[in-house]
Amino acid sequence: MKKIVLSVFVITLTILLVSCASGDKTVIIRGKDLKNAQLTGVDEQGRTLNFQIRDVELDPKDPEKETYLYTVFYLDKSDSKWKNVCKPDIENVAKAIPLSGSWDQTGAYIKSNNLVTFGCTSGSLAKCVRFGYKPWKSVQGKSLRDFHQACTRMVRADYCGNGQAHTQEGVSIDVYDVLGIQKQTPKSGMVFEAAWQPDGATYINRPRLLNNLSEIRKECPKKLTGRINENGSYSTAKKALQKWPSALLFNDSFLRKTPPT
């Protein structure tokens, strides 16, 4: 399969952007020039910590060669040791991609000119950039900001758009969209799962983990009223898009139940 969902959680580091003054000039440091930079920032738990950017390299998966991967370490005050902010992804890469702004506990994007968030390659923020949904760009005259946000909901199976994930590590999905940035894989053996927009699922043909359906209904009954497949009328992405033209992304997944605990 061409896409793998590895991490349920979004692992991010939010830091205050720093400009460096040299005489009467302000020097903007970016890309590989940030290697060895030391910063003070705030992690997801709100702790103020010291950080180091140990390495910076172009993302080998970016054909446009404009995305950098950062190796970021933080000083753990409990044992005074430097540790990687990121957990290794499925390819054993523990790096991050910086994105402007931040995301709140519900997974909603908060625009900011003063904050940058480092999303680890094992989490949804970086995954969606690597899928091609670069929020700073436009394709066919459409900003990819909403596509990136919708993608983060999709990767985590956040149907209600409230930050609650409904997937598990290692679950495969196939991603495609209305712009053709990602295209549906033919004969994947997967079934149409859902259509997505920035605030969660536009329509659910069936949840990624079948046993989660009742839980999802309870979480946001008003939001999903009439948007869960009851009679098979909208069993394909094409049919769903005709009914709900606001959908931006779609995904297929294998039919599976939640494994017993």
- The number of angstroms, rounded, from the C-alpha of 172 to the middle of its chain's C-alpha atoms is 15
d(C-alpha 74, C-alpha 15), whole Å = 12
Name the helix (H) or strand (E) containing 155.
Answer: helix 145-155
pLDDT tens by residue, 22-64: 455 555 556 777 888 888 887 777 788 889 999 999 999 999 9
pLDDT tens by residue, 182-210: 999 999 999 999 999 999 999 999 999 98
- pTM exceeds 0.75: yes
What share of the chain in percent tops pLDDT 90? 70
